[in-house]
Amino acid sequence: MEWCVSMPKIELHAHLNGSIRDSTLLKLARELGEKGAINFPDVEHVILKNDRSFKEVFKLFDLIHILTTDHKIVTRMTKEVIEDFADDNVVYLELRTTPKNNDSKGMSKRSYMEAVLEGIRSVNSVEVDLCHKLKEDTSAHSHTVDDICNNKTRRKKIYVGLLLSIDRRETTEAAIETVKLALEMRDLGVVGIDLSGNPVIGEWLTFLPALEFAKEQGLPITLHCGEVPNPDEIRAMLNFLPRRIGHACCFEDDEWNLLKRLKIPVEICLTSNIITETIASVDVHHFADLYKSNHPLILCTDDCGVFSTSISAEYALASSTFGIGKREMFEMNDRAIDFIFACDRVKQELKTMFASGLSELLNL
Ligand X SMILES: CNc1ncnc2c1ncn2[C@@H]1O[C@H](COP(=O)(O)O)[C@@H](O)[C@H]1O
Cβ 266 to Zn ion, closest distance in Å? 12
The reply to whether 222 sits near ligand X by the rule CB under 6 A is no
Q: Among 74-82, 276-284, 294-302, 322-330, which window interacts with Zn ion (CB under 5 A)? A: 294-302
Q: Output b/e per residue, 94-128; b: 16+ Cβ within 10 A.
A: bbbbbbbeeeeeebbbebbbbbbbbbbeebeebbb
Beta bridge partners of 245: 223, 266
Among 167, 170, 233, 334, binds ligand X (CB under 6 A): 167
Task: Return the residues of window 186-215 that contact ligand X according to CB under 6 A.
Answer: 196-197
Give whichever of 17 and 333 is closer to ligand X, judged by the CB atom: 17
What DSSP string runs through 199-249? TTSS-HHHHHHHHHHHHHTT--EEEEE-SS--HHHHHHHHHT--SEEEE--
Of the candidates 9, 10, 12, 17, which one interacts with ligand X according to CB under 6 A?
Answer: 17
- 95 three-state secondary structure: strand
Q: Which does 301 bind (CB under 5 to 8 A by kind): Zn ion, ligand X, none?
A: none
Kindly state the smallest distance separating residue 175's Cβ from ligand X, in Å. Answer: 13
Which CB sits closer to Zn ion, 149 or 249? 249
Beta bridge partners of 246: 224, 267
In whole angstroms, give the CA distance from residue 309 to residue 85: 11
Judge whether 269 and 247 are in contact, CB under 8 Å. Answer: yes
User: Under the criterion CB under 5 A, does residue 94 sit at the interface with Zn ion?
Assistant: no
Site string for Zn ion, 239-268 (x = CB under 5 A): ------------------------------
Q: Which of 25, 28, 57, 123 binds ligand X (CB under 6 A)?
A: 57
Query: Which range touches ligand X (CB under 6 A), out of 10-18, 22-30, 201-209, 331-339?
Result: 10-18
Name 40's Cβ contacts closer than 8 Å, sequence gap at least 6: 29, 30, 32, 33, 34
Q: Work out whether 227 is an interface residue with Zn ion (CB under 5 A).
A: no
Q: Which residues contact 325 (CB under 8 A, 6 or more apart)?
A: 319
| Least Cβ distance, residue 307 to ligand X (angstroms) | 8
Q: Select the residue interacting with ligand X from 11, 303, 314, 349 (CB under 6 A).
A: 303
- Amino acid at position 25, single letter: L
Residue 313 binds ligand X, judged by CB under 6 A: no
Segment near ligand X (CB under 6 A); pick from 14-22, 85-93, 142-150, 310-318: 14-22
Measured at CB, which residue is nearest to Zn ion? 302
User: Is 227 marked active-site?
Assistant: yes
Angle at which helix 54-68 crosses helix 22-34, to 10 degrees, equals 60
Binding residue for ligand X (CB under 6 A) from 7, 25, 84, 98?
98
Buried b (16+ CB within 10 A) or exposed e, 172-205: eebbbbbbbbbbebbebbbbbbbbbbbbeebebe
Question: Does residue 286 belong to the site contacting ligand X (CB under 6 A)?
Answer: no
Active site residues: 227
